[in-house]
């Protein structure tokens, strides 16, 4: 099986067209998406009910009224937390924002002075946060107006808007979530395309009679499948490494931030995608079928998994089904590394799920390979 992988690598690197498709095309797309998402615009869509965490340190009738009014809005659910836990939730990506009301809300409303309220948020969820922000501002403005009606002579005064202090919790100047989205999303989608092409080559070998000749040798029947899997994994690793190097050199993606985590995610992503390619080859009856089936599945997974469109601008139910895609777990892993800047242990769930996918995909591959490819 090593001979098979070696031979395929040799052919691959001799083929300029394959190299182009594996490297230049994704690099082009990453560049495109990086610019597209770089300054993300607001897009209209129906978001999930947003869970807004709050920590009420003021504990006054005014703060209670504010929370009750927020909770009564249909799109928002209020959740009481303590400040530290709330911040941690945002960092881990479990919640998008935390409203902290410090002491002295009532006097501040009445005196038109700076409000003791902070909204901590995750910038990668920009759209939902901005909705929250607007609602909060509106509401605080109303409350202030009732507390101390502004004198007409003073003319137009809009103090409320600037009084809610916005604090981004996740990410910093060095990280740009649009870039992360562009790199991770594109890399995984393109990776799926290249491994499915490798998978399709198994079928091509069957159609050409080369598979039969391989089987006539004393090598075990599955060595072809294993050889292709090794080959696909090596190409996948190669492709991902080049993608991230490119993002680092061209756009300054801080790849050194959590290198062990990044390597771990690259390896499991490569394994999982490769087994997808091999399964495709084992299931399909002809090369043409493998190609079209592969394209459909990859586009579907990429669309729902957040490769093409960032997850947060999708409606809630779409975000819920995203978890069935390989893309989702992989992209979220890369977000954890670069955006949330979490440690390697935060990737446990993503890694386990991707490995689980790998095991399932490979088991199915062996099953179908025995049933189909080995029948001559």
Partner 1 sequence: MLNVNHIRKRFGQLQALEDVSFNIRKGTCYGLLGPNGAGKSTTIHSISGILAPDSGSILIDGTDLYSHTAACKRKMGVVPQEIALYEDLSAWNNLLFWGSLYDMSKQDTLKRAAILLDWVGLADRKNDLIAHYSGGMKRRINIAAALMHDPDLILMDEPTVGIDPQSRNHIYTMLQDLRKEGKTILYTTHYMQEAEELCDEIGIIDNGQVIASGTLEELRHQHPIEESLHVHFSESVTTLTDLPWTHQWEQDHKKLIISSRQTHKDLAAVIQFLDSRQISPEQIKFIPINLETIFLHLTGRTLRD
Q: Residue numbers of the site for partner 1 (CB under 8 A)?
A: 3, 7, 10-11, 14-15, 208-210, 212-219, 376
Of 109 and 230, nearer to partner 1 (C-beta) is 230
The residue assigned the tokens 């189909």 is 372
Q: Smallest distance from the beta carbon of 282 to partner 1, in angstroms?
A: 18
What's the CA gap between 362 and 340, in Å, rounded? 32
CB within 8 A of 301, min separation 6: which ones? 192, 307, 325, 326, 327
Of 17 and 156, nearer to partner 1 (C-beta) is 17
Of 13 and 317, nearer to partner 1 (C-beta) is 13
CB within 8 A of 194, min separation 6: which ones? 21, 22, 235, 236, 239
Q: Smallest distance from the beta carbon of 127 to partner 1, in angstroms?
A: 48
Q: Smallest distance from the beta carbon of 237 to partner 1, in angstroms?
A: 22
Q: Smallest distance from the beta carbon of 198 to partner 1, in angstroms?
A: 14
Strand order in the sheet with 76-80: 76-80, 50-56, 97-101, 117-121, 165-168
What's the CA gap between 277 and 239, in Å, rounded? 15
Q: Smallest distance from the beta carbon of 262 to partner 1, in angstroms?
A: 34
CB within 8 A of 25, min separation 6: which ones? 190
Of 1 and 40, nearer to partner 1 (C-beta) is 1
Of 7 and 288, nearer to partner 1 (C-beta) is 7
Nearest to 326 by CA among 303, 295, 292, 343: 303
Other C-beta atoms lying within 10 Å of the C-beta of residue 231: 26
Of 92 and 370, nearer to partner 1 (C-beta) is 370
Of 156 and 375, nearer to partner 1 (C-beta) is 375
Q: Smallest distance from the beta carbon of 304 to partner 1, in angstroms?
A: 36
Nearest to 108 by CA among 69, 53, 165: 165
Read off the tokens for 163. 């009084």
What's the CA gap between 114 and 116, in Å, rounded? 6
Of 72 and 217, nearer to partner 1 (C-beta) is 217
Q: Smallest distance from the beta carbon of 214 to partner 1, in angstroms?
A: 7
Q: Smallest distance from the beta carbon of 366 to partner 1, in angstroms?
A: 18
What's the CA gap between 306 and 319, in Å, rounded? 9
Q: Smallest distance from the beta carbon of 222 to partner 1, in angstroms?
A: 14
Of 71 and 207, nearer to partner 1 (C-beta) is 207
């Amino acid at each position: 099986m090593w001979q098979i992988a070696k031979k395929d690598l040799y052919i691959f690197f001799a083929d300029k067209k394959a190299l182009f498709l594996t490297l230049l095309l994704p690099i082009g797309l990453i560049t495109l998406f990086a610019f597209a998402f770089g300054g993300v615009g607001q897009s209209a869509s129906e978001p999930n009910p947003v869970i807004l965490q709050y920590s009420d340190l003021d504990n006054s009738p005014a703060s209670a009224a504010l929370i009750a009014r927020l909770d009564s809005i249909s799109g928002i659910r209020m959740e009481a937390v303590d400040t530290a836990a709330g911040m941690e939730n945002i960092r881990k990506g479990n919640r998008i924002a935390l409203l902290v009301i410090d002491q002295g809300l009532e006097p501040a409303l009445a005196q038109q002075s700076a409000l003791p309220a902070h909204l901590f948020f995750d910038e990668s969820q920009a759209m939902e946060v901005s909705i929250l922000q607007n609602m909060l501002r509106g509401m605080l403005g109303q409350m202030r107006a009732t507390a101390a009606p502004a004198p007409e002579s003073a003319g137009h005064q809009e103090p409320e808007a600037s009084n809610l202090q916005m604090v981004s919790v996740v990410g910093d100047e060095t990280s740009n979530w649009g870039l992360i989205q562009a790199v991770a999303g594109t890399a995984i989608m393109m990776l799926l395309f290249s491994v499915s092409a490798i998978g399709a080559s198994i079928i091509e070998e069957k159609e050409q009679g080369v598979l039969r000749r391989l089987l006539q040798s004393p090598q075990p029947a599955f060595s072809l499948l294993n050889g292709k899997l090794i080959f696909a994994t090596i190409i996948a690793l190669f492709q991902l490494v080049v993608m991230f190097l490119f993002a680092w050199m061209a756009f300054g993606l801080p790849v050194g931030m959590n290198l062990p985590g990044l390597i771990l995610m690259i390896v499991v992503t490569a394994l999982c995608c490769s087994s997808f390619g091999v399964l495709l080859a084992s299931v399909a009856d002809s090369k043409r079928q493998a190609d079209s089936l592969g394209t459909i599945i990859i586009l579907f997974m990429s669309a729902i998994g957040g490769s093409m469109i960032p997850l947060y601008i999708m409606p809630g139910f779409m975000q819920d089904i995203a978890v069935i895609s390989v893309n989702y777990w992989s992209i979220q892993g890369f977000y954890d590394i670069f955006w949330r800047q979490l440690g390697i242990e935060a990737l446990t769930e993503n890694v386990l799920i991707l490995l689980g996918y790998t095991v399932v995909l490979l088991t199915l591959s062996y099953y179908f390979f025995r049933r189909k490819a080995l029948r001559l």
